[in-house]
Amino acid sequence: MTITKFSFPTTIHFGPGARALAGPHLRDLGLKRPLIVTDKGLAALPLMAGLKADLESAGLAVAVYGGVFGNPTGPQVMHGASAYKAHEADCVIGVGGGAALDVAKVVGLLATHPGDVMEYVWDHPQVRPIAAETLPYFIALPTTSGTGSEVGRSSVISEEATHVKRVIFSPAILAKVVFADPELTLGLPPAVTAATGMDALTHNIESYLSPAYHPLCDGIALEGTRIAARALLTAVREPGNVQARADMMMSSMMGAIAFQKDLGAVHSCAHALGTVCDLHHGLANALMIEPVMNFNMEAVPHKFAELAHVVGVSSADGFVPWLAHLKHTIGIAAGLSSVGVKREQFERLIEIAVNDICHQTNPRVCSAADFERFFVEAY
């Protein structure tokens, strides 16, 4: 494989070794003091030491903020902003999965803007404006293939007290350049590869099923589904297979681009599971996708026929069984009970799912009773 450069709309350098281009890129722009924003696990790995050394070899003075963990919260962002100021940084490099990249997107925002991060969420009653011209230069290096946050225009941050996920949305927080290097995902264990891969697949599927009108995103979502269908099992079984890793990284980015068309009820359920049970987002999507897809089938059978076609199944009725077989083959947990979810949590799960915005673009209207059925079936 070679490194390919394209824009959609973010400039993306895609391919093995793309990470080595990040340092020279910043240097050539006259930037000198990057802050790497990453999670606690990655910060301690040789991978991070190697990235830091590459950047320093380009003449950059690098600091690392490794304070991201779990579902990121406001204080993690604010601590990152403090680290940015302490280093007298002039740019931000996001390295990691969705959580680290979501924090990285807004560290520079809070380092250069007043107030608390939660005052910038889109539905705050007095939402603060974002002055795009004052934001630090931001680049992203994804290390997982699931959220596609590296090409997204939003940052999802959880309220510390309630764990409810809140969204900061602005094209201004898009990465200026993405260095998408599949070699950075080679160390992912099979369980993480499976969960993040199902996240990418769910993004593509739900985006396609959304009734919003966006034929461009429909095409991207279908191709993203096709790519994940052929690559996910190989990526799980053969973790060193660079082509499979590259395919999953591409499917992940395509899903994130496509879901500007919006998502559906699977994500409303997953957001509830993340809030109440602190469940990994990709795993939550994987556990909830079958009951929601069975529910949606009645509303848009023609779309299920198209999804079946791109994954290599002969009929629309075969798509959900294909999903079930894929999940079993890649080792996704059998149900919510197997990951510690308790029935007494259902009332709160249903409440949060009903209030979540994602199901407003589900192809079939969902009631509280429907969400109860989804959780029961997934249990």
Helix H, strand E, coil C: the string for 25-60 is HHHHCCCCCEEEEEEHHHHCCHHHHHHHHHHHHCCC
Would you state the structure tokens that stand for residue 366, as one six-digit string?
Answer: 């969902």
Tens of pLDDT along the chain (379 residues)? 789 998 888 999 999 999 999 999 999 999 999 999 999 999 999 999 999 999 999 999 999 999 999 889 999 999 999 999 999 999 999 999 999 999 999 999 999 999 999 999 998 999 999 999 999 999 999 999 999 999 999 999 999 888 888 999 999 999 999 999 999 999 899 999 999 999 999 999 999 999 999 999 999 999 999 999 999 999 999 999 999 999 999 999 999 999 989 999 999 999 999 999 999 999 999 999 999 999 999 999 999 999 999 999 999 999 999 999 999 999 999 999 999 999 999 999 999 999 999 999 999 999 999 999 999 999 9
Residue-by-residue DSSP string for 88-135: T-SEEEEEESHHHHHHHHHHHHHHHS-S-GGGGSTT-TTPPP--GGGS
Q: Is 140 helix (H, G, I), strand (E, B) or coil?
A: strand
Closest residue by Cα to residue 124 from 151, 93, 164: 164
Comma-separated ranges of CATH 1.20.1090.10 domains in the chain: 190-378
Q: Does domain 4-185 have CATH number 3.40.50.300?
A: no
CA gyration radius, the chain: 20
Q: How far is CA 50 from CA 42, 43, 202, in A?
A: 11, 11, 32
d(CA 136, CA 158): 23
d(CA 178, CA 104): 13
What is the pLDDT, as a whole number, of residue 101?
A: 97
What is the pLDDT, as a whole number, of residue 7?
A: 83
In CATH terms, the superfamily for domain 190-378 is Dehydroquinate synthase-like - alpha domain (1.20.1090.10)
What is the pLDDT, as a whole number, of residue 162?
A: 87
Q: Is 73 exposed, middle or buried (0-12, 13-18, 19+ CB in 10 A)?
A: buried
What is the pLDDT, as a whole number, of residue 163?
A: 85
What is the pLDDT, as a whole number, of residue 6?
A: 84
Q: Are 16 and 3 in contact (CB under 8 A)?
A: yes
Comma-separated ranges of CATH 3.40.50.1970 domains in the chain: 4-185
Q: Is 266 exposed, middle or buried (0-12, 13-18, 19+ CB in 10 A)?
A: buried
Strands 177-180 and 137-142 come out as parallel
What is the pLDDT, as a whole number, of residue 263?
A: 97
What is the pLDDT, as a whole number, of residue 8?
A: 84
Strands 154-158 and 137-142 come out as unpaired
